[in-house]
Amino acid sequence: MGLFDKLKNSLSKTRESINEKFNTVIKTFKRIDDDLFDELEEALITADLGVNTSMDIIERLREAADEKKLRDSYELKGELNRIMSEILTEGDNSVELYGTPAVIMVIGVNGVGKTTSIGKLAAMYKNQGKSVLIAAADTFRAAAIDQLEVWADRAGADIIRQQEGSDPAAVIFDAVNAAKSRGIDVLLCDTAGRLHNKKNLMAELKKIYRILDRELPDSSKEVLLVLDATTGQNAVQQAEQFKEAADITGIILTKLDGTAKGGIVLAIKNDYNIPVKFIGVGEQIDDIEEFDPQEFVNAIINPEDEVEVE
């Protein structure tokens, strides 16, 4: 299965949700008018694009319809695809890796697929011929360290760990020194996911980042927030809360293959200007992809797909 087919397959529930709502509106309102736009806005909101993003998209859709003098409602599908693509391509979706080691710090609440995502990233970079070291700095739970060790072993990556309850910053410091001495290409740093105590979490993340900044001044530092797509608007709220605790450079969106709520990608990008950089499209170790905005939009609303207008 090619990358696009794999993506399209994993987004089938989201595509069915958005297309079904869109096509129902198009069949009901053959001409473009205010009622059509109101119904489309409601359809986007119920597809988990969020209120603000849905309103923004509909406003841009109105402007495009006026400017291009569109009359038939089915013509809006191509415009909707274009507008969604524009939202997701504004800014930088690429992952910066430079310096020895380049750093990827992974944050997010427990249960969203953080450990799994780190394992998948380790395997992906190993397959690209890069050396990878994992820092197990979620020392709050012993299970988190053990799980990460299992994934590190599967990916063929080394891991730096200490005992449960150790200072996370000390783990990072040890990992940085090990990475420098071994000439490691990519350092993946796990962190705790205790959002209920945001003040402590914020202090911990800032301490870790200070160490990385001090010890690796010439290395790239990606701070990636892992979000579970199946939680819909709850994931958007997590993005808002973590944005207060850390300087997030991007999102890893997991469990896209099991949800109809993939529209939250647009809500997060539009509301908080945080680009999605990786998506999880399955449970296997190689089921992670760098995010391609245009392919993502084509997989959920393709203007070439026919709309049967009665």
* Environment class of 269 (CB within 10 Å of its CB; exposed 0-12, middle 13-18, buried 19+): buried
Q: Based on the number of CB atoms within 10 Å of its own CB, is 244 exposed (0-12), middle (13-18) or buried (19 or more)?
A: exposed
| Protein fold of 102-293 | Rossmann fold (3.40.50)
**205 class by beta-carbon count within 10 Å (0-12 exposed, 13-18 middle, 19+ buried):** buried
pTM (2 d.p.): 0.88
The two beta strands, 186-190 and 158-160, are unpaired
- As a whole number of angstroms, the distance between CA 214 and CA 217 comes to 6
3-state percent helix, strand, coil for the chain, nearest multiple of 5: 55, 15, 30
When mean pLDDT is compared across 9-13, 231-235, 294-298, the lowest value belongs to 9-13
Q: Would you tell me which CATH number, out of the four given (1.10.390.10, 1.10.3720.10, 1.20.120.140, 3.30.300.30), belongs to the domain 3-89?
A: 1.20.120.140
Helix orientation angle between 293-300 and 76-89, rounded to the nearest 10 degrees? 150
**pLDDT tens-digit readout, 123-181:** 999 999 999 999 999 988 778 899 999 999 999 999 999 988 889 999 999 999 999 99
Q: Which helix (H) or strand (E) holds 227?
A: strand 221-228
Q: What is the pLDDT of residues 241-269, one digit of tens each?
A: 888 878 899 999 988 776 667 788 888 88
Helix (H) or strand (E) holding 145: helix 142-155
Q: Do residues 281 and 7 make contact, with C-beta atoms less than 8 angstroms apart?
A: yes
For the chain, the structural domain boundaries read: 3-89, 102-293
